[in-house]
Amino acid sequence: MNRNLNWTRRAAAGIASIAVFGSALSAQDELPSREEMWAIIQKQQEQINALLERVDTTEVKIVETEQAIEVTADQVESTASFVEGYVASGSAQAGAGAIGRTNLGGYGELHYNFGKADSADFHRWVLFLDHAFNENVRFVSEVELEHSIAGAGKVGEIELEQAYVEFDLNDTDTAKAGLFLLPIGILNETHEPATFYGVERNNVEKNIIPTTWWEGGLAYRHTNDAGWAFDAAAHTGLFTPTSGSKAFNIRSGRQKVGSAEASDGALTTRVTYSGTPGLQLGLSAQYQADIAQSTLSERIDATLVSAHADYQRGGFGLRALYARWDIGGAAPGVTGADEQFGYYIEPSYRFETEAGDVGFFARYSVYDNYAGSASNTEDAFFDIGMNYWPIENVVFKWDVQFTDYADSSKDEEIINIGVGYHF
């Protein structure tokens, strides 16, 4: 409206100035005639009307444009709110396309070992592939390439370490079916390189608890808000050699669920408490019906009991674990494999620096796969070293291992250097 008034004022001023100009001219001889003057005024009036019309049209357009901007802004706002709400409510997980519901992750570690023999090994390259079918049902898998190269006659292998479907029954109970990591010890379920000290995994959770250890079957978990978790799993069993140097060796008994002998299964239960931040206590028990899978005339049943504590307070950390096998039947007793045990204790200290975190650790570990024999078959290790995390997903490791084998001719000092990552 203001614009309209301005234009009217300008037009009036124009007319007034023309009138003044006209009266000034009247004093001169060349004054236009009245008819000519009338024609000029009419022409000017036409121009004023045309201008006023253009002003009106422009104003209508401006109002329309303002309305369009307002509507567009509303739409942008509501779209953004919808997207934000969609993400915040987790609908993206259930409603988005397959790509949005599928997640990739992975980890890997390269090791250098300098002892009696020197070696370099890209020990593990692992890829996680998870897919959420909906909010409560998901698929979890993990594929590992060990020792960098696999194939006939090669040192490495490709392994499917996890592949299961998990169902959330409610907020506290889950069930899973498929191939999964057994709930035993500290490292078996969580072994990304940046989460533990030492280039190589400890020997107890390698030779007594044969980490990484997976089996096929069914598992159930109940947790509560006080920090207790209860796991129970029924799954395929071990099938150890029954003769030779590896007779009744636990680590050699993993079938890795590859066309596995399944006539005799196993049951694993675990209870953990982590209701105090920084502390986890765990107790696992496993019963194997026959680790010879009915290939001997006697039943070789076996029981594993394992307890662990993992404590972190400020920079201080302490991990301790004990595990023991009692193996039935007469055959394992011949070599002393009827009892196998191991333990370790690992204090550590981690602190922040400008360039990332640094941690130091020491570990004393002992294990014995022939503890039932009369002779000394116990191997002990002392490790000391450091981890450096430039960022939390990447770790550089360095440690020295002093060995104390039952057979002292095998003793050596090993320097280990490694780098690991996860994402």
Partner 1 sequence: MNTFAQIRIALVLSLALAYSAFGDTPDEDVYLAPDAFISESFDDSPPKPSVLWVTNELKPQIQKILGHDYPALRIRYWAQQSRSAWILEEIGKVKPITVGIVVEDGKIVRLKVLIYRESHGWEVKHSFFTDQFIEAELTEKLRLSKNIDGISGATLSVNALKRLGGLALYLHQQVQP
Q: Which two tokens stand for residue 50?
A: 């045309």
Q: In this chain, which of 224, 303, 353, 376 binds partner 1, going by CB under 8 A?
A: 224
| Contacts of 77 by beta carbon, 8 Å cutoff, 6+ apart | none
Alpha carbons 225 and 201: distance in angstroms, whole number: 32
76 binds partner 1 (CB under 8 A): no
Q: DSSP secondary structure string, 33-62?
A: PHHHHHHHHHHHHHHHHHHHHHHHHHHHHH
Burial class (CB in 10 A: 0-12, 13-18, 19+), 332: buried
Q: Which among 276, 259, 248 is positioned nearest to 338, based on CA atoms? A: 248
Q: Which is nearer to partner 1, 274 or 373 (CB)?
A: 274
Q: In this chain, which of 57, 67, 195, 376 binds partner 1, going by CB under 8 A?
A: 195
Q: In this chain, which of 280, 369, 377, 387 binds partner 1, going by CB under 8 A?
A: 280
Residue type, position 195, single letter: T
104 binds partner 1 (CB under 8 A): yes
Q: In this chain, which of 144, 146, 290, 346 binds partner 1, going by CB under 8 A?
A: 290
250 binds partner 1 (CB under 8 A): no
240 binds partner 1 (CB under 8 A): no
Q: Which is nearer to partner 1, 14 or 85 (CB)?
A: 85
Alpha carbons 418 and 196: distance in angstroms, whole number: 12
392 binds partner 1 (CB under 8 A): yes
Residues 124-153: x/- map of binding to partner 1 (CB under 8 A)? ----x-x-x-----x-x-------------
322 binds partner 1 (CB under 8 A): no
Q: In this chain, which of 27, 171, 259, 297 binds partner 1, going by CB under 8 A?
A: 171
Q: Which is nearer to partner 1, 186 or 414 (CB)?
A: 186
Q: Which three-class secondary structure string do you get for 270-283?
A: EEEECCCCCEEEEE
Angstrom distances, CA of residue 275 to CA of 28, 134, 227, 228, 364: 109, 29, 4, 7, 28
Q: Which two tokens stand for residue 402?
A: 């002093």
| Contacts of 105 by beta carbon, 8 Å cutoff, 6+ apart | 127, 128, 130, 422, 423
Q: Which is nearer to partner 1, 32 or 390 (CB)?
A: 390
Q: In this chain, which of 186, 208, 291, 337 binds partner 1, going by CB under 8 A?
A: 186
Q: Which two tokens stand for residue 34?
A: 């009245």
Contact 120, 109 (CB under 8 A): no
Q: Which is nearer to partner 1, 105 or 115 (CB)?
A: 105
42 binds partner 1 (CB under 8 A): no
CB atoms within 10 A of CB 379: 20
* Shortest distance, position 80 Cβ to partner 1, whole Å: 7
Residue with tokens 């009106």: 56
Q: In this chain, which of 18, 22, 48, 265 binds partner 1, going by CB under 8 A?
A: 265
Q: In this chain, which of 5, 99, 117, 226 binds partner 1, going by CB under 8 A?
A: 226
Question: Residue numbers of the site for partner 1 (CB under 8 A)?
Answer: 80-81, 84-85, 87-90, 93, 103-105, 128, 130, 132, 138, 140, 166, 170-172, 174, 186, 189-190, 192, 194-195, 220, 222-230, 232, 234, 263-267, 269, 271, 274-280, 287, 289-290, 310, 312-314, 352, 391-393, 422
